[in-house]
Amino acid sequence: MATGPLPPPITSSLISSSSNSHSTSSSGSKLPPLLSPSPLPPCHVYQQQQQQAHSKRRRELLLKGGLGLLPLALVESILKEPLIVPSAEAKEAVVGSYLPPSPSDSSFVLFKASAKDTPALRAGNVQPYQFIIPPTWKQMRVANILSGNYCQPKCAEPWVEVKFEDEKQGKLQVVASPLIRLTNKPNATIEDIGNPEKVIASLGPFVTGNTYDPDELLETTVEKSGDLTYYKYALETPFALTGSHNLAKATAKGNTVVLFVVSASDKQWQASQKTLKAMLDSFQV
């Protein structure tokens, strides 16, 4: 908050003059002498320091949450808003304690996204989706700034729908992108947008958490399921924030492209590669 100019300090000569001229009233009674002013604290300096520290801390928190993926203009507008930092203890119970077993594989549970789960589903901006997940994983809270809550139902940039994590096996996230960001054709299919390489070139940074290099793409697969076509990807991403191994699956439905991503470090990949691939294969909109 900007501060106005500070009033000039009261000089000793002014105090002396004021004291002499007002030491008596019109009735002749004496008035108490003016007290010497105490030094003014450098409050403007303190406020500037506090603002700078708050701004720096705010940027660090938001960038760590993935804000660096958003357009500069949106970043600047968000930075002007009050910051509410989510609790560090945002982890929920393991999903096996509240999700039903998967009908196809009892070693997994089934997550079916509904309107109670995300702002975009409540706004009707994303079609319901589902996937299987190991019962030991935990659902993570998505920061309001990344959830699309501030722009539904007319978001211009991708947002994070849901996130899950297991320290030993890896991470999962579902990212949604408005169709208009990728094509001007209403209700386009993913084939209308382009081939698998073109789609991942646009959505790759949301897989890695930072940048995408075409050389990181190891494999692409095209699958049909019902009326939808899915593009599947295997990526080796040594510099990615999400992990050095990423699997992704994308499709388009309605006015949105939905991207499912599972990620793992080298250590996690060795132990959970088969599990992550099963999760990827199960995703459907």
Question: What pLDDT score was predicted for residue 57?
Answer: 56
User: What is the crossing angle of helices 72-79 and 43-64, to 10°?
Assistant: 130
153: preceding bond cis by omega (within 30 degrees): yes
Q: Output the pLDDT for position 27.
A: 42
Q: Enter the pTM of the model.
A: 0.69
What is residue 13's predicted lDDT score, i.e. its pLDDT?
44
Alpha-carbon distance 138 to 116, whole Å? 17
pLDDT at 51: 55
Calpha distance 74→77 (Å, rounded): 5
> 254 is written with which tokens?
């309605």
Could you tell me which residues come within 8 angstroms of residue 88 by beta carbon, excluding any fewer than 6 positions away? none
Instruction: Please report the pLDDT score of residue 163 as a whole number.
Output: 97
Q: How far apart are CA 157 and CA 218, in angstroms?
A: 27
Q: Which long-range contacts (CB under 8 A, 24 or more apart) does 104-110 make?
A: 104/132, 104/282, 105/132, 105/278, 107/134, 108/132, 108/133, 108/134, 108/135, 108/278, 108/279, 108/282, 109/133, 109/134, 109/135
The confidence score (pLDDT) of residue 153 equals: 86
b/e sequence 220-230, b meaning 16+ C-beta within 10 Å: beeeeeeebbb
Task: Spell out, as residue ranges, where the chain has pLDDT lower than 50.
Answer: 1-3, 10-41, 43, 45-46, 54, 58, 61-91
β-pairing, 217-225 with 228-236? antiparallel
